[in-house]
Amino acid sequence: MEVLVTGGSGRIGRLVREGCSRGRNITSLDVAPSDDGTVAADIRKLDEIQRLSRGKEVVVHLAADPNVGASWESIHEKNIIGTYNVFEACRRSDVRRVVFASTVHVTWMYHSQPPYSYIVNGEYDKVDIGHLQMISHQTPPRPDSYYAVSKLFGENLGRYYTDTYGLSVVCLRFGWVPPGDKPPQPSPFFFASWLSRRDLVQLVERSIDAGDLKFDVFYGVSNNKWRFWDISHPREVLGYSPVDDAESFRSKGDV
């Protein structure tokens, strides 16, 4: 299978390139030149993306400004114009599917109210975990930043390209993939939103290989005890079966 990964030199891009390479010929692009085989290309330039998307069956679109505090100017260029260019290039090049990297930040403002506020503050004794209402793909968005708004734009643009042009689009609302695959510091946010490297790779692989899937949105976090994002939907539709739980770091004394 011919697969193009945008943002291939980023943290998640490198994991996808290495973890999803079996049985796939992966082309990686990034804005900066690299000596690891990544092609230098700019998603802000439609002609460059269209040239590289020709002959590809799937495009995994990761390239973006990933900074939650990024300025509108940067978000507009990279996450709005750049995302449009990727979808339009895929349409013109008859790509079958786009796997779009979204984020849990599209609903992160729910953390300002109980019971989610208790979890992110580490006040676990105030939470009835057995009756915790999960935030799902059907929960109305509550973005926390221009970055999150741009990811909602990408999801809705994907919906448009599915309905209008028949492009298959899978949107993955990724949680936190920290450097080193472990918490850099004790953080309740980590225990709620961690996505391990191997769970990330599994989720992307299952999104690439999913059969007759037109458009859908899935949360991507590991099977964390204190997560409040629903992963039953990717379990049922994609067969996602996360093997990691952030709680293991607490039991090992790593935090």
Dump pLDDT digits (tens) for 28-76: 999 987 878 899 999 999 999 999 999 999 999 999 999 999 999 999 9
Torsion (CA) 229, 232, 233, 236 in degrees, nearest 10: 160
Q: Token pair of 195, please?
A: 């996505």
State how beta strands 168-174 and 39-40 pair.
Answer: unpaired
- Report pLDDT digits (tens) over 163-180: 999 999 999 999 999 988
pLDDT, tens only, 142-166: 999 999 999 999 999 999 999 999 9
Burial degree of 248 (CB within 10 A; 0-12, 13-18, 19+): middle
Q: What is the pLDDT of residue 32?
A: 83
Annotated active-site residue 147? The verdict is: yes
Higher local confidence (pLDDT), 137 or 186? 137
| pLDDT at position 251 | 67
Residue 140 pLDDT exceeds 60: yes
Residue with tokens 């973890």: 19
pLDDT above 70: percentage of residues in the chain: 98
Q: Compute the distance between CA of residue 3 and CA of residue 250 in angstroms, rounded to an integer.
A: 37
pLDDT band at 255 (very low <50, low <70, confident <90, very high): low
Q: What is the mean pLDDT of residues 191-213?
A: 96
Q: Which CATH architecture has domain 2-108+137-251?
A: 3-Layer(aba) Sandwich (3.40)
Q: Band the pLDDT of 107: cuts 50, 70, 90.
A: very high
Of 116, 146, 147, 219, the active-site residue reads 147
Stronger pLDDT, 34 or 78, i.e. the higher one? 78
- Name which of 232, 240, 239 is nearest 138 in CA terms: 232
So what's the pLDDT on residue 252? 62
Q: Where are the beta strands (DSSP E) in the chain?
A: 2-6, 25-30, 39-40, 58-61, 97-103, 168-174, 215-220
Residue 253 confidence (pLDDT): 57
3-state secondary structure 36-70: CCCEECCCCCHHHHHHHHCCCCEEEECCCCCCCCC
Q: List, in order, residues 6 or more apart from 136 with CB less than 8 Å away.
A: 219, 229, 230, 232, 233
Domain ranges of the chain: 2-108+137-251
CA dihedral 202, 119, 65, 51 (to 10 degrees): 20
CB proximity list for 123: less than 8 A, separation 6 or greater:
none
pLDDT of residue 219: 98
Nearest to 172 by CA among 218, 118, 106: 218
Find how far residue 164's CA is from the centre of its chain: 23
